[in-house]
């Protein structure tokens, strides 16, 4: 099917930062056996472009507007289970990386990584290998993932807490009682080793369980300002 003209690897880049895309484009241009076939700026676009372009390898950021990277990976893999996706993230202890790998990503790289490693990884992934993770990252994942693993429900509760909602309001918004929200909060704090809800949120942020952008922040209806 995607029999490339002369064995060149067709790469789709998904990232919301134009400059970073340029960086990746420049890197790909310097490699004779790679070519950039498309760029997407959010998850939805990534899914669509994958369908039309059928690239050999996808480089995807996890932090995306409109549709989360993990979600995009899931959908792309649903389209084509052989899709080869390399995940790029900024933070070291990012738990989403693990979710991305579960969702079918072939490898996981940090953005502040050397070009060589990225290039090597692209070739390795194209060759069919999975997870040629350069050690350091594997460890950093392992070190963090052991004990967090918040349930989806807990993450939801915590996201709302980060937005400054009270347990009662969270319960109202999620359709459960205030007491239940409290129970979730207890479990969250125990898992994260946090002292209170505020600490739980900052801990989750620093571990990549939550992202500032995904918080229901700046919701106009409840602006305190008044």
Partner DNA sequence: GGCCGCCTACCCCGAAAGAGGTGTTAGCGC
Partner DNA sequence: GCGCTAACACCTCTTTCGGGGTAGGCGGCC
List contacts with a second copy (CB under 8 A). Answer: 16-27, 90, 111-115, 118, 147, 161-166, 189-190, 193-203, 205-206, 212, 215, 217, 222-226
Give the closest residue to 44 by CA, choosing from 17, 87, 73.
73
Of 67, 131, 183, 205, the one binding DNA by CB under 7 A? 183
- Three-state secondary structure call for residue 75: helix
Q: Among residues 36 and 200, whose Cβ is nearest to DNA? A: 200
Cβ 111 to a second copy, closest distance in Å? 5
Least CB distance to DNA at residue 93 (A): 19
DSSP-derived letter for residue 93 is T
**Measured from the CB atom, is 112 or 196 closer to DNA?**
196
Closest CA to 16 of 60, 54, 55, 71: 60
112 is an interface residue for DNA by CB under 7 A: no
198 binds DNA (CB under 7 A): yes
d(CA 125, CA 18): 24
C-alpha–C-alpha distance, residues 116 and 47, integer Å: 27
In the range 53-72, which residues lie near DNA by CB under 7 A? none
For DNA, which residue of 16, 33, 44, 178 counts as binding (CB under 7 A)?
178
Least distance (Å) between residue 118 CB and a second copy: 8
Token pair in block for residue 119: 């290039």
Residue 132 and residue 125 in contact, taking contact as beta carbons nearer than 8 Å: yes
Nearer to DNA, 124 or 205 (CB): 205
User: Residue 180 interacts with DNA (CB under 7 A)?
Assistant: yes
Find out whether 94 and 208 touch, Cβ atoms under 8 Å. yes
């Amino acid at each position: 099917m995607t029999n490339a003209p002369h064995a060149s690897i067709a790469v789709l880049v998904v990232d919301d930062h134009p400059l970073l895309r340029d960086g990746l484009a420049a890197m790909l241009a310097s490699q004779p056996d790679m070519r950039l076939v498309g760029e997407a700026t959010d998850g939805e676009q990534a899914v669509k472009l994958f369908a039309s372009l059928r690239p050999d390898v996808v480089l995807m950021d996890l932090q995306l507007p409109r549709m989360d990277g993990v979600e995009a990976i899931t959908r792309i893999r649903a389209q084509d289970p052989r899709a080869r996706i390399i995940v790029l993230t900024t933070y070291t202890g990012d738990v989403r990386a693990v979710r991305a790998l579960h969702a079918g990503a072939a490898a996981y790289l940090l953005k502040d990584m050397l070009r060589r490693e990225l290039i090597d990884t692209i070739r390795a992934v194209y060759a069919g290998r999975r997870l040629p993770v350069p050690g350091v990252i594997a460890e950093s994942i392992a070190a963090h993932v052991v004990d967090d693993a918040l349930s989806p429900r807990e993450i939801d509760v915590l996201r709302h807490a980060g937005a400054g909602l009270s347990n009662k309001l969270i319960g109202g918004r999620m359709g459960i009682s205030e007491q239940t929200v409290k129970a979730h909060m207890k479990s969250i704090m125990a898992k994260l080793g946090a002292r209170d809800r505020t600490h739980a949120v900052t801990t989750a942020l620093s571990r990549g369980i939550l992202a500032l952008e995904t918080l229901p922040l700046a919701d106009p209806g409840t602006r305190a300002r008044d």
